[in-house]
C-alpha cells in the first residue's frame, strides 16, 4: 500500500490521510515502481527524458495540503466550516482558533467579536431579503412541478418586469416628474416653454386629434387601443414635452438634455444588466459543451432534477432524459453518416439546402414587402376614414400590427417544416430554426420603422422643403412612431391573452371531455419555452425602441409582463403540458439573454438614427429648436467654460478617438491572450485528470497482482 500512497499524493505529507510521497531515501523504495505510472511516463516524454526534483501533485490529494498550509492569518479570519476539510480537521482548526483568541488583545477581541456579529446580521438580512423577491413562492412551485427548464422562463419573465420597472422609474424621475412639478408650481417652480426660433410657420403647426365636444363611447375605446385622441395629448407621448427648462427655486433643469441622457441611460443600463446576467450562463454553457463525453456523464450521473416533486413531472423528466440520450446517439450516428457521404450525396444535400434557403429568403422578403406596403397604406388612409366608422378606422390603424403578427405566426411553422429536408444534426436544427424565427420577428420591427421613416422623409414634390421632413402628414413624427410602438405592444398583449382564453382552454375542454380518437391524438398544446421566450423578447424590443418616443411605455410593459406571468402560469398548470423536448436550464438561460441582447442591439439602431440623423419635429417635443436631437449636447457644452469645452470637444475629435481605439484594441488582445492561456491550462488540467484515472487503474491492477502472489 505504500506504493499506492506514493502514487496518489504530493510531496510534503498530508495530515489525516497517510498518502504522501516520501522525501528521504529511506522511504523511497518503490521509485522504480512509480516510474511505471502512466502520468510519470507522460511527464518524462514532455520533459525530454529529464526528471524534476519533486513530483507534481495529482488529484484531490494534492489540493488538501494547500488548504492546511495557508498562513495563520487567513485561517483565523475564515470560519472552519468554509474550509474543504474533514469533520475531524475542522474541529481541530476550530479548537486552535478558539485557543488563539485567548492571546489576543482586548482591542483585537472586540474587533473580532464585532466582525462576527456584523457577518451574522448581514447573513440574516440576506435571508430575510429573499422573502421579498417577486414571485418567489410561485417560481419555486413551478420549479417543483415542472423542473428547472420551465422555471428559467418564469425567472426570465421576472427579470424583464424588474428591468422595465427600473426603466420606468428612470424615465419618470428625469422627464415626467419635472413637468408635473412645474405644472403644479411645487417648490416655487416655473416653466420656460420652447418658442420656435427661425422656423417656418407651417412647420410649427400641430393640432393633435383630441376629442372635442360630445363623442361616442367607442371613440374613447379606439383612442385607448390606438394611442390617438385624448391619449395623444398626454404625458405618454413625446409631443407633450414642449418644455425647454424647469426652474426649481434658483436651479435650472435642462429638460431636452435630461431627455437625451435618460435615453442613453436606460439603454446602457439594459446592456450592462444583460451582460452581467449572461456571464454566468455563458460559463455554464461553455463547460457543458466542452466535451461530448462530459455531456454523456452529466446526463447519466447528474441529469436528474432534484427540485421535481410532482410524479407527472418526474415521468416527464424520465422521458426527457431518455430523449436526450436518444438524440445524442442519433447525432453520433448522423455524424458517422455524414463522414461516409459520397461526393454525389454531398452535392445533392448542398443543392437542396441552397434551394430551401432561397425559399426562406423568398418568404422573408414577402413578409417584409407586405409589412412595408401595409404600413404605407395604413399611414395614408388612417386620416381619410371618418371617425364615425369605428371598425374600419381601427382596422386600418392596426393593419401593420395584424400583418406582423400573422408573419410571426406563419413564418416559424414554415421554417419548422422546411428544416426537416435539410438533413442537419438535431441540435443544429433547433438552433437554426430559432435563429430564423428571431430574425423574422426582429426584422419585422425594423421593416415597420423603415416604412415609417420612408414616409417621414418622403420629400417628393417639395413636401419637406421648409422643415426637412414630411410635415403635412407627420407634424409631430416622433409621437406617430410612439403610437405605432404602443399599438404593437397592446396588440401583442391581446394576442397572448386571446390565445390562452380562446385556444388553450377550449382545447383543454375538448381533450378532457371528448374521447374521440382524433381529439385525443391532437392532445393538449405544449408549453414550448423557446416560442414563449421569443414572444416576450419581441415585446421587450418594442419597448426599448418605443421608450424614446413614448417615455411612459416601460410602465405599460411592466404591467403587461406582470399580467402575462399569471396568464402563462394558469395556462401551464391548467391548459397546457410541458414540451416533450425540454431544454437544459443553464443553456436556456444563456440563450434567452443572448437573444435579448440581439434585440437590444437592434433597438440601438432606430433610436440612434432618430437621434442623430432624422430632423426633429419643429411643432412638438423638447428638441423643436434643434435640427436633430443630438444637437442639444454641443449646444450645452458651449455654455461651459472655455477650458472644459476644449477638453470635451477634444475627446470627440479624431485625435482622441484613434489612440483610444488603439488602447481598446490592445486591451482586447491582452484579454484574448489571457483567455488562450487559461484555455491551455484547462487542457493541461483535463489531461492530468485523465492521467490520474489511468494511474488509479494501473495501481489497482498492480495491487491485484500483488495479492495473487503467494
Q: Is the pLDDT at 171 greater than 90, yes or no?
A: yes
Q: Any alpha helices (H) in 102-216, and if so which ranges?
A: 106-129, 136-146, 148-171, 177-184
Q: Is the pLDDT at 321 greater than 80, yes or no?
A: no
Q: Is the pLDDT at 25 greater than 70, yes or no?
A: no
Q: Is the pLDDT at 297 greater than 60, yes or no?
A: yes
Q: Is the pLDDT at 547 greater than 90, yes or no?
A: yes
pLDDT tens digits along 635-662: 888 888 888 888 888 887 777 888 888 9
Q: Highest mean pLDDT: which of 197-201, 379-383, 394-398?
A: 394-398
* Average pLDDT score over the chain: 77
In which band, very low, low, confident or very high, does the pLDDT at 26 lie, cut at 50, 70 and 90? very low
Neighbour-count burial for 101-113, b at 16+ CB within 10 Å, e otherwise? eeeeeeeeeeeee
Give the per-residue pLDDT at 580.
63
For residues 244 and 402, which has the higher predicted lDDT (pLDDT)?
402
Q: Is the pLDDT at 201 greater than 90, yes or no?
A: no
In which band, very low, low, confident or very high, does the pLDDT at 150 lie, cut at 50, 70 and 90? confident
Give the per-residue pLDDT at 581.
61
Q: Is the pLDDT at 1 greater than 50, yes or no?
A: no
In which band, very low, low, confident or very high, does the pLDDT at 362 lie, cut at 50, 70 and 90? very high
For residues 467 and 451, which has the higher predicted lDDT (pLDDT)?
451
- Please give the share of the chain, as a percent, with pLDDT higher than 70: 77
pLDDT tens digits along 412-461: 889 888 888 888 877 777 778 888 888 888 888 888 888 888 888 776 65
DSSP designation for 245: E
- Rounded (10°) CA dihedral 663, 666, 668, 670: -140
- Rounded (10°) CA dihedral 372, 375, 378, 379: -110
- CA-CA-CA-CA torsion sign (497, 499, 502, 506): negative
Q: Is the pLDDT at 198 greater than 70, yes or no?
A: no
For residues 113 and 347, which has the higher predicted lDDT (pLDDT)?
347
**Which helix H or strand E contains 427, and what residues bound it?**
helix 426-456
The half-sphere exposure of 465 on its side-chain side, counting CA atoms within 13 A, is: 4
Kindly list the domain boundaries of the chain, sorted by start residue.
86-132, 149-170+262-290+424-618, 653-697
Q: Is the pLDDT at 212 greater than 70, yes or no?
A: no
Q: Is the pLDDT at 15 greater than 60, yes or no?
A: no
pLDDT tens digits along 563-602: 999 999 999 888 888 766 656 555 567 778 888 898 999 8
Give the per-residue pLDDT at 542.
93
Residue 446, C-beta contacts closer than 8 angstroms, at least 6 positions apart: 602, 605, 606
Q: Is the pLDDT at 214 greater than 60, yes or no?
A: no
Give whole-number Cα distances, 49 to 31, 44, 286, 409, 683, in Å. Answer: 16, 5, 36, 66, 22
The pairing of beta strand 576-578 with beta strand 525-527: parallel
Q: Is the pLDDT at 209 greater than 60, yes or no?
A: yes
Tell me the pTM. 0.76
In which band, very low, low, confident or very high, does the pLDDT at 358 lie, cut at 50, 70 and 90? very high
| Cell numbers for 686 | 483535463
Give the per-residue pLDDT at 6.
38
Q: Is the pLDDT at 262 greater than 80, yes or no?
A: yes
Give whole-number Cα distances, 490 to 224, 561, 578, 688, in Å. Answer: 10, 12, 27, 58
- Please give the share of the chain, as a percent, with pLDDT higher than 90: 15
For residues 675 and 202, which has the higher predicted lDDT (pLDDT)?
675
Q: Is the pLDDT at 465 greater than 80, yes or no?
A: no
Q: Quick check: 10 and 58 in contact, CB under 8 A? A: yes
Lowest mean pLDDT among 18-22, 138-142, 146-150, 313-317: 18-22
Q: Is 446 left (phi over 0), alpha (psi -120 to 50) or beta?
A: alpha
Q: Highest mean pLDDT: which of 268-272, 274-278, 329-333?
A: 268-272
Strand segments, DSSP code E, in 226-370 are: 243-248, 251-254
Phi, psi of 209 (to 5 degrees): -80, 55
pLDDT tens digits along 473-488: 788 888 889 988 998 9
Amino acid at each position: 500500500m505504500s506504493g499506492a500512497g506514493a502514487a496518489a499524493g504530493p510531496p510534503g505529507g498530508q495530515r489525516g490521510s497517510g498518502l504522501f510521497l516520501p522525501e528521504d531515501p529511506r522511504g523511497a523504495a518503490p521509485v522504480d515502481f512509480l516510474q511505471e505510472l502512466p502520468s510519470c511516463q507522460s511527464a518524462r516524454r514532455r520533459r525530454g527524458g529529464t526528471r524534476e526534483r519533486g513530483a507534481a501533485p495529482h488529484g484531490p490529494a494534492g489540493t488538501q495540503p494547500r488548504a492546511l498550509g495557508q498562513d495563520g492569518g487567513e485561517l483565523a479570519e475564515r470560519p472552519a466550516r468554509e474550509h474543504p476539510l474533514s469533520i475531524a480537521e475542522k474541529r481541530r482548526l476550530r479548537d486552535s482558533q478558539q485557543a488563539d483568541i485567548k492571546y489576543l488583545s482586548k482591542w483585537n477581541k472586540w474587533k473580532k467579536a464585532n466582525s462576527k456579529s456584523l457577518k451574522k446580521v448581514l447573513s440574516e438580512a440576506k435571508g430575510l431579503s429573499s422573502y421579498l423577491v417577486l414571485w418567489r413562492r410561485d417560481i419555486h412551485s413551478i420549479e417543483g412541478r415542472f423542473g428547472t427548464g420551465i422555471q428559467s422562463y418564469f425567472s426570465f419573465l421576472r427579470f424583464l418586469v424588474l428591468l422595465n420597472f427600473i426603466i420606468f422609474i428612470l424615465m419618470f424621475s428625469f422627464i415626467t416628474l419635472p413637468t408635473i412639478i412645474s405644472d403644479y408650481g411645487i417648490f416655487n417652480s416655473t416653466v420656460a416653454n420652447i418658442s420656435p426660433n427661425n422656423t417656418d410657420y407651417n412647420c410649427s403647426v400641430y393640432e393633435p386629434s383630441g376629442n372635442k365636444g360630445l363623442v361616442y363611447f367607442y371613440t374613447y375605446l379606439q383612442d385607448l387601443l390606438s394611442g390617438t385622441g385624448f391619449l395623444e395629448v398626454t404625458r405618454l407621448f413625446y409631443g407633450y414635452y414642449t418644455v425647454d427648462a424647469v426652474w426649481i427655486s434658483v436651479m435650472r433643469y435642462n429638460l431636452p438634455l435630461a431627455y437625451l441622457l435618460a435615453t442613453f441611460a436606460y439603454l446602457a443600463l439594459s446592456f450592462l444588466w444583460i451582460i452581467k446576467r449572461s456571464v454566468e450562463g455563458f460559463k455554464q454553457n461553455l463547460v457543458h459543451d466542452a466535451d461530448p463525453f462530459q455531456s454523456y456523464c452529466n446526463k447519466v450521473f447528474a441529469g436528474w432534477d432534484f427540485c421535481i416533486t410532482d410524479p407527472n413531472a418526474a415521468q416527464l423528466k424520465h422521458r426527457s432524459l431518455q430523449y436526450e440520450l436518444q438524440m445524442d446517439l442519433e447525432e453520433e450516428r448522423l455524424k458517422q453518416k455524414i463522414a461516409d457521404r459520397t461526393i454525389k450525396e454531398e452535392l445533392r444535400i448542398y443543392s437542396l439546402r441552397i434551394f430551401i434557403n432561397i425559399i426562406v429568403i423568398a418568404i422573408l422578403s414577402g413578409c417584409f414587402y407586405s409589412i412595408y406596403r401595409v404600413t404605407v397604406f395604413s399611414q395614408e388612409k388612417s386620416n381619410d376614414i371618418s371617425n364615425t366608422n369605428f371598425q374600419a378606422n381601427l382596422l386600418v390603424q392596426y393593419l401593420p400590427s395584424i400583418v406582423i403578427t400573422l408573419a410571426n405566426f406563419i413564418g416559424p411553422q414554415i421554417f419548422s417544416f422546411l428544416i426537416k429536408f435539410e438533413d442537419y444534426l438535431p441540435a443544429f436544427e433547433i438552433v437554426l430554426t430559432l435563429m430564423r424565427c428571431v430574425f423574422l420577428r426582429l426584422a419585422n420591427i425594423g421593416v415597420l420603422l423603415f416604412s415609417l421613416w420612408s414616409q417621414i422623409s418622403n420629400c417628393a414634390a417639395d413636401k419637406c422643403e421648409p422643415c426637412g421632413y414630411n410635415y403635412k402628414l407627420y407634424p409631430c413624427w416622433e409621437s406617430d412612431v410612439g403610437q405605432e410602438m404602443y399599438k404593437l405592444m397592446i396588440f401583442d398583449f391581446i394576442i397572448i391573452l386571446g390565445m390562452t382564453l380562446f385556444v388553450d382552454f377550449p382545447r383543454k375542454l375538448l381533450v378532457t371531455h371528448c374521447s374521440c380518437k382524433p381529439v385525443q391524438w391532437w392532445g393538449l398544446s405544449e408549453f414550448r419555452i423557446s416560442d414563449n421566450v421569443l414572444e416576450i423578447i419581441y415585446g421587450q424590443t418594442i419597448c426599448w425602441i418605443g421608450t424614446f418616443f413614448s417615455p411612459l411605455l416601460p410602465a405599460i410593459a411592466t404591467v403587461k409582463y406582470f399580467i402575462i406571468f399569471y396568464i402563462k402560469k394558469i395556462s401551464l398548470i391548467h391548459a397546457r403540458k410541458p414540451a416533450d423536448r425540454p431544454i437544459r436550464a443553464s443553456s436556456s438561460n444563456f440563450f434567452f439573454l443572448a437573444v435579448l441582447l440581439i434585440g437590444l442591439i437592434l433597438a440601438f439602431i432606430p433610436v440612434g438614427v432618430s437621434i442623430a440623423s432624422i430632423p426633429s419635429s419643429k411643432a412638438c417635443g423638447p428638441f423643436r429648436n434643434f435640427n436633430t436631437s443630438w444637437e442639444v449636447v454641443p449646444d450645452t457644452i458651449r455654455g461651459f467654460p472655455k477650458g472644459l469645452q476644449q477638453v470635451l470637444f477634444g475627446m470627440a475629435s479624431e485625435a482622441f478617438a484613434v489612440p483610444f481605439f488603439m488602447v481598446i484594441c490592445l486591451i482586447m488582445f491582452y484579454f484574448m491572450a489571457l483567455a488562450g492561456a487559461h484555455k491551455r491550462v484547462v487542457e493541461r488540467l483535463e489531461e492530468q485528470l485523465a492521467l490520474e484515472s489511468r494511474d488509479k487503474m494501473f495501481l489497482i491492477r498492480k495491487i491485484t497482482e500483488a495479492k495473487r502472489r503467494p
